[in-house]
Amino acid sequence: MHGQPRQPKKPEDSAVAAAKAAKLRELQTQVLHNHHTATYTEEVLGLSFKLLEINPEAYMAWNYRKLALQHNLKDLSDLEAIKSSVDNELRVVEAALRANPKSYGAWYHRKWLLNQKLTPVDSKREFGLLDKLLKVDARNFHGWNYRRFLAKFTGVPEEDELKYTMVKICDNFSNYSAWHNRSILLSNLLIQQNKGFESKQEIFKEEFDLVTQALFTDPSDQSGWFYHLWLLAQTSSPEKPQLIASWPCNDAKLSLFQIRKNDDLNMVSSSSSICCYSLKDRIIPIVLYFDEPVKGLNPSNVKLNSDLVIGKDIQWRPLSVTDSGYSNCWVTYLEITDKECSSSQQLSVEVCIPCSDDIVSRSGSNCNCPVHFTFTIEQSNNDDKAHDIDLFHEPISWSCSESFQSDGNPSCVAFDQLNITNTVVQENSKWHLEGLSDQIDLFRELPDENSKFAKLTLARLLLACAAIKSRGNSLIERKGYCEEALGLFSDLINLDPSHKRYYEDERSLVLMDQLDSLSLSKCDQSCGILTLFLNYAHSS
């Protein structure tokens, strides 16, 4: 158990161990024989009890006792006799736990007994047993796991269990199991939005204050730092997935021009429309960009209303898939035929995303912010430019407010229609940024400048802020956060050389992220995304 150093073995201990091993082998042989012959008398059951007192991890003995109990209760109808048999099993478990409080087999057998629901559960007895065990070892995770099971089984409110974790934490800030149980309970209460737990913002502010007291009391203890890391992960991630950008944007007007290769591109642009020229088979992409990776987009939860989609198989596909099909960016394609888009015809496309349980983020949150936007597509008829068109190899170009500049690379045009507006991001992430910024200021003032946990946590806080800033246009602020985090990782390499490789890996990830940000300038970003669209469309 925790805090109990190993004692060197003495010569006489070997003789005792040998005698114990011989007795153990004899008991195992007898119990295994009784197990195979299905002998369940009271006398032979006593042998399994003696075996479990010596070795609580003898799974064969626990399985044997399960079968014996079921066999012996099969013909019993007297409630007192049933209760007596169950109590006897509970006493066997308690004897095993005295020998080893962390016996998997013993704890599992006790859970199994309660799940049989043979007699009413004596809550006072069960919680009393846990109190005794947790006084001996407050971080016995088997005991905490059983307590979660017992509280749920007996209907104890999670609010009451949360108060219990507070008692244990106040007794000892180093009780990692209590912190861990607190994170589980808080997660459940916030998801269920129980009374007093409707606001994630208020709850997490209080939790940050609580764990900060523990960290400043003993910066060298890991328990509080792990809980702080959990809070950080919850605070830096969006609460609900939201659509923060789209192409086309709301009320956009797309003019489909047909031009020859040698035509002056400036002749086909306008300040009020988006120009799409030389599309292979006139395929128009629709792009949706969420503030966190999601999955589950399909025609039933992302509805397209337009003459262009009638009778067509519309499929939403992820771009830059992360893991298990989650992606920030999703795309589908509309094909415009000559019949659908004549020189005098204007087509309207309506995109509607209602609240949907099918669109889910990696954190398990559902998209519950309804979205609705429309755009129009028209074909501009230019007699001078309406023939000899190559619709297969030219790139796609978009412009919002500027004329195209023919610089030898017409695809390098600002992709302004998919810009993520900082206003939207800042509004959605306001309390996240405020909470993280407060923590950054706090840890910058931590008295122990050589605390590796403090430096690592500060670096993680900075990178969390940088991640939120990357969802908008605050690239200068984001760069500042990353630069400071890089300095902290360099300090950690010198301060904690035993974990040098880990810090170097973390530093490399930040450096690579910065390189990606530099390469994705507005011009490069448009080229990269548009090339991806074309490749995706051509391969479909």
Q: What is the pLDDT averaged over residues 32-60?
A: 92
C-alpha span between 170 and 184 (Å, rounded): 18
Summarize pLDDT for 206-221 with one digit per residue, the tens: 999 999 888 888 888 8
What pLDDT, on a 0 to 100 scale, did the predictor assign at position 336? 75
What percent of the chain clears pLDDT 70, i.e. is strictly above it? 73
What pLDDT, on a 0 to 100 scale, did the predictor assign at position 395? 36
User: Range with the lowest mean pLDDT among 77-86, 170-179, 197-206, 261-270?
Assistant: 261-270
What pLDDT, on a 0 to 100 scale, did the predictor assign at position 323? 60
What pLDDT, on a 0 to 100 scale, did the predictor assign at position 435? 83
C-alpha span between 374 and 132 (Å, rounded): 65
Which range has highest mean pLDDT (151-165, 181-195, 361-375, 404-418)? Answer: 151-165
The whole-chain average pLDDT of the chain stands at 77
Whether the per-residue pLDDT at 110 is higher than 70: the answer is yes
Whether the per-residue pLDDT at 111 is higher than 90: the answer is yes
What pLDDT, on a 0 to 100 scale, did the predictor assign at position 485? 92
What pLDDT, on a 0 to 100 scale, did the predictor assign at position 390? 38
C-alpha span between 66 and 18 (Å, rounded): 30
Q: How confident is the model at residue 235 (pLDDT cuts 50, 70, 90)?
A: confident
Summarize pLDDT for 123-163 with one digit per residue, the tens: 999 999 999 999 889 889 999 999 999 999 999 999 999 99
C-alpha span between 163 and 88 (Å, rounded): 33
In terms of residues, how long is the chain?
A: 540
Residue 97, Cβ density class (10 Å: 0-12 exposed, 13-18 middle, ≥19 buried): buried
Strands (DSSP E) found in 336-411: 346-353, 356-361, 366-367, 371-379
Which range has highest mean pLDDT (118-122, 273-277, 294-298, 362-366)? Answer: 118-122
Summarize pLDDT for 314-345 with one digit per residue, the tens: 888 887 665 678 888 888 888 777 666 554 46
C-alpha span between 85 and 68 (Å, rounded): 11
Summarize pLDDT for 481-509 with one digit per residue, the tens: 889 999 999 999 999 999 999 999 999 98
Q: What is the pLDDT averaged over residues 110-118?
A: 95
Summarize pLDDT for 245-279 with one digit per residue, the tens: 788 888 888 776 554 444 443 333 333 344 443 34
